[in-house]
Amino acid sequence: MCDDESKLTRTKRQWADQGKFLTGRITRPETDRLPPGQHLVTNWPVLDLGQQPIIRPESWRLDVKGGAENPVSFSWTDFLALPQSQKLSDIHCVTTWSRYDNRWEGVSTRDLLDVVVPRAEANFVMLTSYDGYTTNLPLADFAVEDAILATHWEGRPISAEHGGPMRLVVPHLYFWKSAKWLTRIDFLPGDQAGFWERNGYHMRGDPWAEERYSDD
């Protein structure tokens, strides 16, 4: 489970208190591919809460519950039977690194939504991971065209350290919103804070608006 007192958590709480990395600039994707305060990397840094759960395909489940017309509990076989998509996107971590042109394969969030059908009152999504991590999203952000429940990166299965066997990728928000080791999706009528959101981070996390930290 998530440890509220881990070294990484203490450090990132301090960053939120200090407003570290904030530049005060605002740019938009149409004019600048690199959000303010970010720098490019060619590797893929690993950040987690001190656990990297190992999930075997035969025991993996994805429960889609809450405000859904068709709640589903997917096995790995069920999940792979859904329409498969490929996406190309940049990713931006709140710790200031960005990586361009990542190639993903998996299930589009829009294809998942076509199966489960969120109810009319569902406006937000709560994501829960195998390590107990949680994060929240507006449903509109979860449903963008390039969001994907990814099983592959650069043509290979996503490794355990990066959230395999399946992780969410929502590339237009800071990457803490793209939950690793995803096991549950709940549709909610109102917004609720997840793990980092309770620890000083922004409820939405738009990189181009530098929504790194809470306004509270």
CATH code, 150: 3.90.420.10
Q: Which domain holds residue 128?
A: 7-15+60-201
Determine whether 174 is exposed, middle or buried from the number of CB atoms within 10 Å of its CB (0-12, 13-18, 19+). buried
Residue 20 confidence (pLDDT): 45
SS3 16: helix
Total domains in the chain come to 1
Please state, in angstroms and rounded to a whole number, the distance separating the CA atoms of residues 83 and 12.
Answer: 37
Please state, in angstroms and rounded to a whole number, the distance separating the CA atoms of residues 202 and 207.
Answer: 11
Residue 29 confidence (pLDDT): 60
Residue 10 confidence (pLDDT): 63
In a domain, 24, yes or no: no
Per the CB < 8 A criterion, the answer to whether 75 and 197 are in contact is: no
Residue 78 confidence (pLDDT): 97
In a domain, 151, yes or no: yes
Please state, in angstroms and rounded to a whole number, the distance separating the CA atoms of residues 7 and 14.
Answer: 11
Identify the segments of the chain with pLDDT beneath 70: 1-31, 48-50, 216
Residue 155 confidence (pLDDT): 97
Residue 216 confidence (pLDDT): 64
Residue 15 confidence (pLDDT): 47
Structure-token match 């919103």, residue found: 177
Residue 72 confidence (pLDDT): 97
What is the value of pTM for the model shown? 0.87
In a domain, 27, yes or no: no
Structure-token match 């922004």, residue found: 202
Residue 45 confidence (pLDDT): 86
